[in-house]
Chains A and B, each alone.
Chain A
Amino acid sequence: MTRLRLAGGCLLAVSFAAGAFSDSARRGPNMIVGGYRVLSADFHVHSFPLSWGTLAPWDTVIEAHRRGLDVIAITPHNHVWVAKVGRWYSGVYSSAGTGPIVLAGEEIVSAQYHLLAVGIQRTIGSNQTVASAIDEIHKQGGIAIAAHPLAQYWPAYDAEARRKLDGAEVLQPIAWRSEDLAGQLRQFYESAHLTAFGDSDYHGLGPVGVCRTYVFTREPTEQGVFDAIRAGRTVVYDRGRAYGDPELIELAARDGRLPKLDPTGQSTGLSVMLSRITGIAGLVIAFFSLGGAHARN
């Protein structure tokens, strides 16, 4: 048993060492296309606690930086408290000027719809219509994005709500689960003149920013991001498809760099592979060595 524990411990130590070796921030695209500074953004991120997320706000900010994101919006369910913690921490973390811009937000979750409020200061209640929630978001200077607008949520988005919306998620990880779900997101996006968003709806499964929005800003600041969104200057890529401003899609295609970026790509370096193999093996061995007689019975 002691040998087994030792083996598990050694494997875990190797895994952590290999993980530390590969623990460096990915550089964002940091590119200028057609005079715009293109920022890589994820506007739908959940944190621990109170939002069905696994990472605390500080870890979320660091992970976003590691994944090369320039902008994230932390959007807890029906409150803004955790988002404000993340925004505060980003001020500390980004003091060297390297971290992402963190926007405080909320995912307004009601039984009829899910709506992202990005760039707000106070919690917006969920017990109201979409149109009235959007009014409140705009009063606070924020932007309103339809979160994963699948067919079940369409009845809540009446004509008034669709006219007031700033944007809709046209890409979400749920789109990878079935072509039908992907089609529903596309259909909603195409039903109104909306700014395109690709968000990870990050709850902890997979890396943050696995779906992302490229924002074409005049300046890489918070205000620059809001101005770009209100002007509809975003592009989203999904498996050969592109959504967003057609002129910007064309511009990016001529430039060639942006469509080649793959945020879904997994690290395949030797140290990462070593870390995951030894990590899994180490945990299994540690479990059986600790389980003792009970594990054998």
Chain B
Amino acid sequence: MATQSQGHYFVPNPSLYPFILSAGLLVMAAGFIFSVNESVPGHSAGSWMMLGGLGVILAMIFLWLGKVIAESQGGHYKTWEDKSFRWGMMAFIASEVAFFAAFFGALFYMRVISVPELAGFDPEFTPYKDFLGAWPSAGPGGVVLGTEYTTAQFTPMGAWGIPAINTLILLTSGATVTWAHWGLLKNKRSQLVMGLFLTVVLGLMFIALQAYEYHHAYNELGLTLQAGAYGSTFFMLTGFHGFHVTLGTIMLIVILLRSMKGHFSPEHHFGFEGVAWYWHFVDVVWLGLFVFVYWL
């Protein structure tokens, strides 16, 4: 904090984007609900509502961030505003960490507590006689809420194939984005653009391999979202991570295009750093996934 007055703080003009964005979220949520509840009248309109809402959301994000970029290029953001964005991005990433913690928590809980406990009942009373409780597990099976669930037969995903390659890809992409940052700091524009381009390519490679891995899991390993504890945690964790990688890649593409247009200066480039932080964050989450979902 400065000891002297920091001059004028930029307060943006009134904006309708947040309001429309919220309305889009409302429509998308309602559409989603209608589309997943078959018995409800209006079910058929659900997916269209969802798509419409999503369109509004994407348009608003595009316009909103476009406005932010214009304000940034217009020189409205000085050191003081820049600091706000930094604090804000850090707090946002912290909230994302907490979000992933919920799913990691679910994984650890199932692995360490609920699955072994289901095998640990007194043999005389247990409803799950032949269940050993070893991980990976799809659970003992049984009647669930009126419907019969037979334990899914699946092969768990090995760590040293695609996941290991993906680990290398993400670690390398962390290095390339840092190399791009060095280029930006030294005002070597070609190094900046090249580094970002490589990072984007690596991100796309990761997504492609992940898609192939899902295909492989569903078609050859019998590993599906419905495959009990292992399937649930595997797909939720890797799925949300993959979603974040996709978002991160889109963000990287945006700053790549901005770099090519000559945005960012060695002194003033929060947009770049925010995306880089986010990218390192998905990288670190991946390391957690690699160790706890694939490897151990």
Binding between chains A and B: no
